[in-house]
Amino acid sequence: MKVPAISVALAIILGSTALSLAQQSGRGAVELSNGTKVPQNPSLPKLNLTNMQREQIRKSVLPENTEVEFRLKSTKSAKDFNSAIGEKLPKGVKANSLPTQVLSQIPDLRDYLYVKMKDQVLIVNGMTNRIVDMFSETQPLS
């Protein structure tokens, strides 16, 4: 079956127009059938933990055997990493899910993970692997 040239041209024009409109309207957003625009690169809201919440997290993860060990081949390169808010976790360092009891009491943490490294508890954005909060693993926050 031979497709008329006009049909092919019309499909190309409509396709490129739709692509152009999508790029202009949402900068990568997808529009649902109800008109709601959903971003392709969503971000988590800023996390503002209180010292009481940090202490609750610290106590919950303290007994967990999840400390990063630098003698392992996969984490050896992270030995010289200096933790700072905004920094991305080094390659080979895997973040852990927060304990269920913490998530049940602080549901805002459901999209966040944690790492225990160099006597610090690092709270990590689960989408970007960036550190959003950090505090001492061994010193109580009172």
Query: Could you tell me the residue ranges of all domains in the chain?
Result: 5-38, 51-136
For residue 77, the model assigns a pLDDT of 83
Rounded to the nearest angstrom, the gap between the alpha carbon of residue 34 and the centroid of all alpha carbons in its chain is 27
- What topology does CATH give the domain 51-136? Nuclear Transport Factor 2; Chain: A, (3.10.450)
Average pLDDT, the chain: 82
- Residue 23's pLDDT band, with cuts at 50, 70 and 90, is very low
What SS3 class is residue 129?
coil
Average of per-residue pLDDT across 65-85: 88
For residue 14, the model assigns a pLDDT of 46
For residue 137, the model assigns a pLDDT of 94
Average of per-residue pLDDT across 54-71: 92
Report CA torsion sign: 22, 26, 30, 35: negative
Residue 5 corresponds to which tokens in the numbers above? Answer: 């040239």
Residue 18 corresponds to which tokens in the numbers above? Answer: 């739709």
Report field, pTM of the whole predicted structure over 0.75: no
- Residue 36's pLDDT band, with cuts at 50, 70 and 90, is confident
For residue 41, the model assigns a pLDDT of 62
